[in-house]
Structure 1
Amino acid sequence: MKIQFGFVANALGLYNASPSKTMTFKRFSSLPKDERMEKLLEVTSQNIINTKRILFYLIAHEVKLYRFSSAMIPLATHPEVLWDYITPFKREWEELGTIIKTCNIRPSFHPNQFTLFTSPREEVTTNAVKDMEYHYQLLEAMKVSDIANINIHIGGAYGDKEGTLERFHKNIKQLPNEIKGVTTLENDDKTYNVNETLETCEREKIPMVLDYHHYIANKGDVELTEALQRIFRTWENRKLLPKVHISSPKSERDFRAHAEFVSSDFVVPFFKMARELNQDFVVMIEAKQKDLAMLKIVEDLTTIRGVKRISTTEIEW
């Protein structure tokens, strides 16, 4: 079983490399009209430059899995701005895509918690579609949508989980097929557990991203040992290795929050369980220390008997 590790958005091992420099609508509105677009272009340019720096950092550390920042483009979907963030950076987007494909990096996005398809309010679904379109446009500009995924949660329960799940199946139909084709669903830590998420994925033919920390916080009535192979099987149509999210609790009291690093004691039971399936997969580290946490957990896991390090961020168990 081979496992590749990656991290989210910012590389803390690089100085001042945030790919998420922002600009509020209040700040945008306060600028003279002839300066607004100039400022948007400036901030976006800096985010793209930092993303490129991070990609080179990935290459140096043999990282094959990376989640782009959804905040790369300031005010991208704001209804009172709606600007063209693709054309002015056409060459830059293509350059990022070339780096990704040349170095076999697998990219993804994870829109915020407001991008959901369970709300009874039509405008929420409309905005979710727009947000998914935004993320997909960036993948298309980089020409990497065939190897990428956009990961979301099912959403809230609104006091009627069964009825809400049916509404999800109805609302998700508003998503264009090409975007749905790169969409994944993740189990969450409070509402939709592994079994509910898996059944939804199987019905919609959408791959499922297992979040192990969320599973421990919200087990429901299913044992992961019984569901893991089915979860991995949802990826077969994409012909991509299954993806798993790993983090560990900040504390017993604040169990759902992510710790700075990943506790090997917390996650090793999962890896041992997965080992029984002998299925290769990839792991996104969601700890606060991002790339530093990724490097540390790989180091920790390689101290276990039977674990062989293949590269800086890949092991064989």
Structure 2
Amino acid sequence: MKVRLGFVANSLALWDSSPSKTMTYRRFTELPHDERMEKLIEVTRKNLEHTKRILYYCAAHEIELYRLSSSLVPLATHPDVEWDFHSPFKKEWKELGNLIKSFGIRASFHPNQFTLFTSPKQHVTDNAVKDMVYHYRMLEYMGIEKESVINIHIGGTYGDKKAALERFHENLNAIPPEVKEIMTLENDDKTYNVEETLAACQKEDIPMVLDIHHHEANLGSLPLEDCLEDIFKTWDRRDLVPKIHISSPKSDKAFRSHADYVNPDFVEPFFKTLKKFGRDVDFMIEAKYKDLAMLKLTEDLASIRGVKRISGGVLEF
């Protein structure tokens, strides 16, 4: 059984490497008209350059799992901007995709909490579709859309969970088929637990991303172990290794908040449970200290008897 570990967006080990530099719409409108696009291009180019640096960092540390920043392109989906972020960067997008492929990195996206399909308001659904397409286009420009995923949560309940779930399934029909083909769903820490998310995934034939921290904060009626085989099966259609999100609570009081690092005592019981299934999995580390936390957890888990570290970010047992 092989476990790959990865991190989200920014590398804290690299100086000034954020791939999520922003430009607000207010700042955009304050600029003279002839400088607006120039500034957007400048910020986006910097984000793409920083992503390139991070990919080289991943390769140097043998990290095979990385979540791309959703904020690579400022104002990409703003209704009053929606600019062409492909033509000025054809070379850069292609280079990023080639690096991801040549380094053997599994890349993904995770749009923010506002990208949801349970809202009774049509404009919320329309914006969610637009955001999903934006993420798909970036993967497409890099040439990695076939092997990547775009992960979201189900959303809210709006006072009626049954009705919200019905809307969710109906609203998914608005997503272009090629985009829906690569989406995944993740259980959340307040509303839709593992069993509910799994049921939605099975109904839509969508892979499920398990978040063990969210599970502990939002328990269902079944032990997690009883759901794992069915969760893994949701990935079979795409022939991809199941992905699992890993973090630990900041404190007992702030249980849902992510700690700076991952407490190995919080993760180890689940890690040992996985051994019963003997299936390769990928761990996306969602701790505050990003790559530093990921590398630390790799060391911590490698110290468990029977676990062998076979590269910078890969374990075997």
TM-score if structure 1 supplies the norm length?
Answer: 0.99
Query: Are 2:201 and 1:201 aligned?
Result: yes
Offset at 1:183?
0.2
In 2, the alpha carbon distance for the partners of 1:82 and 1:295 equals 38
Is 1:223 the counterpart of 2:212 in the alignment? no
Partner residue, 1:96: 96
Q: Deviations over 1:190-244 (max 9, x none)?
A: 0000000000000000000000000000012121010001001100011110000
Instruction: Name the counterpart of 1:4.
Output: 4
Give CA-to-partner distance per residue, 1:29-54, whole Å, 9 cap, x none.
00000000000000000000000000
- Using the TM superposition, give the Cα deviation of residue 102 of structure 1 relative to its aligned residue in structure 2, in angstroms: 1.1
SS at structure 2 position matched to 1:36: helix
SS at match of 1:284: strand
* 1:306 aligned partner: 306
Shift of 1:73: 0.5
Unpaired stretches in structure 2, ≥5 consecutive residues: none
Q: Deviations over 1:67-108 (max 9, x none)?
A: 000011011101111100011100100000000111111110
SS of 2:151's equivalent? strand
Q: Does 1:214 align with 2:214?
A: yes
Q: In the alignment, what sits opposite 2:279?
A: 279
Partner of 1:13: 13
Counterpart residue number, 2:144: 144
Deviation sequence 1:270-292 (CA, Å, 0-9, x none): 11111110110101000000000
Q: Secondary structure at the match of 1:112?
A: coil
Task: Show the 5 A alignment for 1:165-176.
Answer: 165-176=165-176
Cα offsets for 1:242-285 (capped at 9, x unmatched): 00000000000000000000000000111111111011010100
Which amino acid in structure 2 is aligned with residue 42 of structure 1? E
- 3-state DSSP class of the match of 1:70? coil
Aligned equivalents of 2:311, 2:33: Cα separation in 1: 51
Which structure 1 segments of 5+ residues have no match? none
CA drift at 1:163? 1.4
Residue 80 (structure 2) pairs with residue 80 (structure 1): yes
Number of equivalences: 317
The secondary structure found in structure 1 opposite 2:195 is helix
Q: Determine helix, strand or coil for the equivalent of 1:53.
A: helix
**CA–CA distance in 2 between the matches of 1:66 and 1:145?**
14
Alignment of 1:1-317 (within 5 A): 1-317=1-317
Cα separation, 2, equivalents of 1:150 and 1:165: 20
Q: 1:313 and 1:107 mapped to 2: Cα distance?
A: 14
- State the alpha-carbon separation in 2 of the partners of residues 171 and 264 from structure 1: 39
Q: What TM-score do you get using the length of structure 2 for normalisation?
A: 0.99
Aligned mates of 1:215, 1:275 — CA distance in 2? 19
Q: Secondary structure at the match of 2:126?
A: helix
- What is the rounded CA distance, in whole Å, between the counterparts of 2:213 and 2:249 in structure 1? 7
Q: Which has the larger displacement, 220-229 or 137-146?
A: 220-229
Shift of 1:159: 1.0
Local SS of the residue matching 1:11: coil
Q: Secondary structure at the match of 2:132?
A: helix
Q: Distance in 1 between matches of 2:194 and 2:231?
A: 9
Task: Tell me the distance in 2 between the aligned counterparts of 1:82 and 1:155.
Answer: 25
Q: CA deviation at 1:8?
A: 0.2
Q: Which amino acid aligns with 2:256?
A: R
Shift of 1:117: 0.4
C-alpha distance in 1 between matches for 2:309 and 2:15: 28
Percent of residue pairs bearing the same amino acid type:
61
Superposition deviation, residue 314 in structure 1 = 0.4
